[in-house]
Every structure is written in C-alpha cells, then in structure tokens.
Structure 1
Amino acid sequence: MPFYSPSRLKICAAILLSFALASCNSSAEAPHSSGASADPPPATVSPETNSPARPSSKPVTGATKEPPLKEEPPQHQPDIQPSASAPTVETSTIQPQSKPPSKPTEPIFEPQSPSLASLKLGASEKEVVKHYGAPDDSYPLPGDSNTINIWEYDGLAIGLNERDKVVYIEITSNKVNTGVQGLSYGMDGTKAADLLGISAGAKTNVLALEVSGGWLKVDLDPDSRKVLSIKLLKDDI
C-alpha cells in the first residue's frame, strides 16, 4: 500500500472540493444562461382568421392612434322658389335722353279762317298785349269812315278800331314770324304766289287774295320780285 503523507492528502481534498463547488455552480446557472433552450411562449390564435397572431415587431411608444372620422356628406338644401306674387323688379340705371321740345308746326294758310303773326281779324287788345306786350309806339290813322289806332313793334304794325278790335296786321321784317307755313318776309314773289294759290303776272307788284272778312295782300319789290310786306286787313277799311 503506497504511503501518502498528510500534506498530499490535504492538497487532494482541496482539489476535489473545488471541483465539487464548480460542478454545483454550473448546474445552477444552466437554465438561466441559455436563451435558445427556453420554450417559446404559446402562440395566440385570432378568432377571425383562426391563425396564430404574430407579435408586432415595433414597440408601442405612445397612445394608440384613432382612425380619422368620416366626413358627413353635405345635406341637400331644397331649392326655394320665389313667390309668384312678388316678382323681381330690375331697376335700370340708364337714364332716358331728354329730347328738345319740338317747335309747333305752322299751319297752312286758310282763307276761311285767316290769321297773320298769330293774330286773327277781330282779336281783342288783350290778345295783342299777351302776344307782343305794350307797343313801342302808337298813333291814330284817320280813314274814310273811322279812325284806326296803329300800334308799332319792330317789324310789325297792328291796327285797332274804336272798339279795340284788330282790323289791320302788317309784317315788314323777317324778325316777325308770319305764323303761316312757308310764308316769310323776303321770299321770292313767285313762290309766295304759288303758296297762296294766286296767279301773278310778270309785272304784278301786289298779290291779293280775298279771305273771310277781308283781304290778304303781299307787296313785291319791282326789281328783285321779293316780298316787301305781308298784310291782313278788314274789307271795310
């Protein structure tokens, strides 16, 4: 039998003890150190697909994002028809152009109702003043049977009898309107004769037309044959 000294026995015992301690530590740490040997967690089955649900690979870092709300379609507004009793009235901004007042048309000379310078034979003194105002001058003109009072205006002479009625009218200027269509002082004598329906000879210096209650006379210039004066007078003067 070999002989072992006490020092060798202590060394052998220490070596055996250290192997025993190392073996115990390795067996205790074995289930925690190996991650591959651990059983995987049981898979969850989705009730809708009957297949295992895989865990999300991205970690959840915030609150769950809610899906966007669906916009409701605009409600249809019923068309409001205008009331038939209240029609829409459009106001025009266009102003109508004002027309200048038209001049009254001069009448054609009527022998049955003669007038000259807008006065008729037998017109009153008030009518004369209404048309022409007070005369520039006046004087009496004695006649065979009576005296006539002559009122003088610029280019116009009016004779009134003792009853203040017009018996005489004479135009001697183109400043005075005759009141007869086409008839004027200074016009050609031949045209005046045609207008009044009078036949005038080449040597005639006076155009005479009988009218109701008197006469219409037109004096012509002997040389130029132009109208020098136009007279309307009663047949008794």
Structure 2
Amino acid sequence: MLEHAFVDQDGLHDFVFGGDGLSSRYDCLVITSQRAVEAVGAVLARAPSAAARARVLAMPAYTVGPATAALLASVGFSNVLGAGDAGNGSVLADIIVADATRQGALRCIFFPGRVRKDVLPQKLRAAAAVECDERVVYESRGVEGADAALRAALDAAGGAAQRAAPRAARTWVVFFAPGGADAAAATVAGRRLPAAAIGPTSAEFLAARGVRAAAVAAKPDPASLLAAIAAADAHDV
C-alpha cells in the first residue's frame, strides 16, 4: 500500500554533522521506527570522517521495541535504550523522563516520519527536565494501483472465509504502521475480516477510521503480534 522516501537527506546531513556536530547540541536521539533508522543510517554512511560518525554513534539512542533496537545496533549505535522495555511511545517517553530527572536534564532530538502520533513528543516537552526538538526524516506515500490490489485480495479472502469450516483458521488483515492504517482503512472498513495492529498507535489510527483492531501486539514485534492474534482466535474475538 505504501512506499517510503527519505526527506531532505542533504539537509539532514548538515543537521547531523554541521557545526560541532549533533552531540554538541543534544544528549540523546529518539528514533521509534525502522524507516527513521534507515534514513539516519544513510546519512551516517556519508559522514565527513570516521571520528564524526563515531561521535554520533556513541550518543544514547532511545527506541521502541527489539526490532528497531536491533536495527540501530546494526547501524553502529552502541548505547540503545528503551527497546524491549518500551512497548510504545508513551512508555518510552516515561523512560526518557525518568532518566532525565535522574541525570538532571536531557536534550533530545526526535527523528520521526511525517505521520506520527503526538504522545511521545508531548510527554517529553511537558517534562521540566527534558528539551525535545524534532526533525522529520522520512515520509510514506500510496503506491499506484495498491488500493485495487488490496480490494481484490480482501474479496478473495472474504470468499474463502465464508466457505471455510466454522473453527478453521481465520484470515487476518494485519497493520504494521499507522501509515498503513491511514492508507488502507477505508478499503478494509465494513468487511468481516478481523484486523490486527502492531501496537496501540496503529490501533488508534484504525479506530479513528472505522476499523476495530481485534488483536493488538503487546510489544511492536512479529512474535507479540502473532501471540495477540492467537489469543484473539482462541477467544473467538
């Protein structure tokens, strides 16, 4: 349904490496999506020097979920925080605020996509010990013809579901990001196929567009999503 594009890589490069560098202006990074990690990683690959890259990679990087944490580590970040202890942006914000309060203050730079929920930056800016700036690093756009392809796939899945035995495994429509929920909800709404969401943000985007998520992952990773779907199937939600 969506394709993703980096936003102003040259400008981001100047932002990260300009002047005395990112680490002179901020104490930590906040990156909550794999696409944002890819955008920042692409800039780090063009660092003006190994030393400049190393200074950024040494900064604490707060994130949500083990998958994004693993990607940050693969880019080279050595101090990844939150991760498996932060199942969503609200919990991550609480972790950052607690760290800032303990340390006295934290200056954070948040690298989101164009579509994101406000809870994390709002919580951070409401905390006296936290300063939070943000810079959009990627955006998502609809793929031409994807809506018709999705409609055909849902029609086929709905027909198969009607022919299946009552206790047969159900076909689920799974949403891995708020952007996907935004793009596909109108096509999914009104169908009898159950929907699942990778986390509460995607579930809220779906609900606002008339689709109830029958299963929501406790943590933003495939294993937790599968567990939520299995639990919903077991209870026939």
TM-score tier by shorter-chain length is: under 0.3
- TM-score under structure 1 normalisation? 0.21
- TM-score under structure 2 normalisation? 0.21
More helix by share: 2
Which structure has the larger Rg? 1
More strand by share: 1
Q: Which has the higher contact order (CA 8 A, sep 6+)?
A: 2
